[in-house]
């Protein structure tokens, strides 16, 4: 394992904010993981698990602890439709691997920035697919018992963008690898509205896993900035999920409530747009003119700048609609 000292969190996260972390440890094989936690215990320091850094925010004061980064990569075919992926593998490489083998189940999650090990943590998803739909199990290091364990899909208690890994057991487990069960075939229609529109506009007929990957990749490129080119943490706010009664009330008010297998929801981007924030610059943070869910760091130099921008957006949305927007990125603290 590699131990680094006093590394700026801004250099590790795609929003490019945050002061120095006391230690950053890169683990390159499973045996490094207990050693990294042992290092933290030796110095009585807290730990934080960091992946690609695309869904993570740093604070100005930094982190007086140990950030552990997964550098373990590799994809192994268990059988023609089941694959095991090391936690440090880039997620989009996993999607590419599956599509090239004509396997469906994750193609709509193309171009989501991040590592495979982070996928089950927040139950990533896009355009009707979630990692919980295909995940069989994870191999993980349990820092509470100092043992390697296997956790099944049911053990992880998935819900919308949540699992025990970011709620009740937050920071307890370090994901070594994940196992996915995919299958041959195609995504069921109808697709999400934006996908159907793109298909109709371009008269497309290829709905194979690779065809859907191509469609999603193009749509995402048009809406979401590449975090390596523009400082951003991706979608910054969760969509609003409603129970049936509240969904009926919202629909009566003219709000665009979407009804799907995952429940009734209002797109947070629509709420932000209706408040006039799309394209606006707030304290150095730009609300994207392509998708109001995305906040871009154009000139902000501190977490405080971001907090002010976030506060203005959430406050106005609440005043106008009565909904509190929930931040998606996690914070190193």
Residue 314 falls within a domain, yes or no? yes
Q: Cis ω on the peptide bond leading into residue 190 (within 30° of 0)?
A: yes
Q: Is 179 in the same domain as 87?
A: yes
71 included as an active-site residue: no
Q: Is 12 in the same domain as 85?
A: no
Mean pLDDT for 104-119 is: 96
Which of these, 161, 167, 157, lies nearest to 235 by C-alpha position? 161
Residue 178 falls within a domain, yes or no? yes
Residue from 10, 235, 288, 291 carrying the catalytic annotation: 235
- Quick check: helix, strand or coil at residue 190? coil
User: From the CA atom positions of the chain, what is the Rg in Å?
Assistant: 20
Q: Is 93 in the same domain as 178?
A: yes
Residue 221 falls within a domain, yes or no? no
- Quick check: helix, strand or coil at residue 271? helix
**pTM confidence score:** 0.90
Residue 132 confidence class, pLDDT cut points 50, 70, 90: very high
Instruction: Answer with the residue of higher pLDDT: 135 or 257.
Output: 135
Residue 155 falls within a domain, yes or no? yes
Q: Is 51 in the same domain as 85?
A: no
Q: Is 264 in the same domain as 289?
A: yes
235 included as an active-site residue: yes
Q: Is 35 in the same domain as 88?
A: no
Q: Is 17 in the same domain as 82?
A: no
Instruction: Identify the pLDDT of residue 309.
Output: 98
Q: Where is the domain boundary, 42, 70, 98?
A: 70
* CATH number of the domain encompassing residue 155: 3.30.465.10
| pLDDT tens column, 208-246 | 999 999 999 999 988 888 887 899 998 899 999 998 888
Number of domains in the chain: 3
161 included as an active-site residue: yes
Residue 248 falls within a domain, yes or no? yes
Q: Is 56 in the same domain as 92?
A: no
Residue 51 falls within a domain, yes or no? yes
Mean pLDDT for 67-88 is: 97
Instruction: Identify the pLDDT of residue 21.
Output: 98
Q: Where is the domain boundary, 47, 70, 93?
A: 70
191, two tokens: 């697709």
Instruction: Identify the pLDDT of residue 247.
Output: 87
Residue 282 falls within a domain, yes or no? yes
Q: Where is the domain boundary, 28, 44, 70?
A: 70
Q: Is 25 in the same domain as 66?
A: yes
Q: Is 60 in the same domain as 123?
A: no
Kindly report the average pLDDT of the chain as a whole number: 94
Residue 152 falls within a domain, yes or no? yes
* Dist CA 33 CA 139 (whole Å): 12
Residue from 16, 153, 161, 286 carrying the catalytic annotation: 161
Instruction: Identify the pLDDT of residue 123.
Output: 95
Residue with tokens 């979630």: 130
Range of the domain at 269: 232-322
21, two tokens: 């972390």
Q: Is 90 in the same domain as 129?
A: yes
* Dist CA 146 CA 142 (whole Å): 6
Q: Is 100 in the same domain as 180?
A: yes
Query: 268 pLDDT exceeds 90?
Result: yes
| pLDDT tens column, 278-319 | 999 999 999 999 999 999 999 999 999 999 999 999 999 999
* Dist CA 66 CA 25 (whole Å): 7
| pLDDT tens column, 8-32 | 999 999 999 999 999 999 999 999 9
* CATH number of the domain encompassing residue 44: 3.30.43.10
């Amino acid at each position: 394992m590699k131990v680094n000292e006093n590394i700026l969190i801004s250099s590790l996260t795609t929003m490019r904010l945050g002061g120095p972390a006391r230690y950053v440890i890169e683990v390159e094989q499973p045996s490094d993981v207990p050693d990294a936690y042992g290092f933290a215990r030796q110095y009585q320091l807290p730990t934080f698990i960091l992946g690609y850094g695309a869904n993570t925010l740093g604070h100005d004061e930094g982190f007086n602890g140990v950030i552990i980064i997964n550098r373990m990569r590799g994809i192994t075919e268990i059988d023609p439709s089941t694959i095991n992926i090391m936690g440090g593998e880039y997620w989009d490489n996993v999607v590419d691997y599956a599509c090239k083998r004509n396997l469906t189940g994750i193609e709509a999650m193309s171009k989501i920035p991040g590592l495979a090990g982070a996928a089950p943590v927040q139950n990533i998803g896009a355009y009707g697919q979630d990692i919980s739909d295909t995940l069989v199990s994870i191999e993980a290091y349990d820092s509470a018992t100092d043992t390697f364990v296997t956790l099944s899909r049911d053990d992880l208690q998935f819900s919308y963008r949540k699992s025990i890994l970011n709620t009740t057991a937050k920071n307890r487990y370090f994901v070594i690898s994940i196992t996915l069960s995919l299958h041959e075939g195609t995504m069921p229609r109808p697709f999400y509205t934006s996908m159907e529109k793109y298909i109709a506009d371009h008269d497309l007929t290829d709905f194979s896993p690779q065809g859907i990957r191509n469609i999603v990749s193009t749509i995402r490129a048009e809406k979401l900035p590449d975090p390596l080119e523009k400082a951003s943490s991706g979608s910054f706010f969760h969509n609003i999920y409603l129970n049936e009664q509240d969904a009926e009330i919202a629909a009566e008010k003219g709000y665009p409530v979407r009804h799907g297998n995952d429940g009734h929801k209002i797109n947070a981007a629509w709420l932000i747009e209706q408040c006039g924030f799309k394209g606006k610059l707030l304290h150095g943070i730009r609300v994207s003119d392509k998708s109001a869910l995305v906040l871009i760091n154009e000139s902000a130099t501190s977490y405080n700048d971001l907090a002010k921008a976030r506060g203005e957006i959430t406050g106005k949305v609440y005043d106008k609609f009565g909904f509190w927007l929930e931040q998606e990125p996690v914070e190193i603290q």
